[in-house]
């Protein structure tokens, strides 16, 4: 009688069997989704609405000194890097849904753009903090 298929017992052959990168993209997408929902609206409210309309006044040099600290790194990750990967993942799957992409080229362009944006933002923080 046929029993349930079991994974190969040797560690080397089973360790990488069936693995792919999708969980990594999805994890970045999930984390970015939380940041998009929680942090981005607050940032937009403060920097794009309250400050320009004069409800609050921002001290530029004070902000720069905060940003140069660890808070700037957290801000960059939560407001730029993770939301960028979230958007890249959504655009890639949107292309798949519309049947005009979603394959390797879309992967390279979407996540490549998110990675470039992230690296540029992190480099900016590095320059300020250094």
Contact between 27 and 70 (Cβ < 8 Å): no
- Minimum Å gap between C-beta 23 and another protein is 4
Query: Does residue 54 interact with another protein by CB under 8 A?
Result: no
Tell me the C-alpha distance between 121 and 101, whole Å.
28
| Part of the chain binding another protein (CB under 8 A), chosen from 19-27, 39-47, 56-64, 109-117 | 19-27
Tell me the C-alpha distance between 60 and 51, whole Å.
12
Question: How many other CB atoms sit within 10 Å of the CB of residue 14?
Answer: 12
| Part of the chain binding another protein (CB under 8 A), chosen from 9-17, 80-88, 103-111, 116-124 | 9-17
* Number of residues forming the site for another protein (CB under 8 A): 23
Contact between 56 and 99 (Cβ < 8 Å): no
Task: Give the residues lining the site for another protein (CB under 8 A).
Answer: 1, 3-7, 11-12, 14-20, 22-23, 26-27, 93, 96-97, 99
């Amino acid at each position: 009688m046929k029993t349930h298929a079991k994974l190969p017992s040797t560690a080397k052959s089973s360790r990488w069997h069936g693995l792919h990168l999708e969980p990594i993209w999805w994890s970045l997408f999930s984390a970015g989704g939380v940041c998009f929902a929680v942090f981005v609206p607050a940032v937009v409210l403060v920097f794009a609405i309250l400050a320009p309309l004069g409800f609050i006044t921002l001290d530029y040099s004070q902000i720069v000194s905060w940003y140069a600290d660890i808070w700037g790194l957290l801000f960059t990750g939560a407001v730029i890097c993770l939301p960028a990967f979230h958007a890249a993942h959504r655009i890639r799957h949107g292309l798949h849904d519309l049947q005009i992409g979603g394959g390797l080229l879309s992967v390279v362009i979407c996540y490549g753009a998110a990675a470039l944006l992230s690296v540029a933002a992190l480099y900016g923080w590095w320059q300020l903090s250094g």
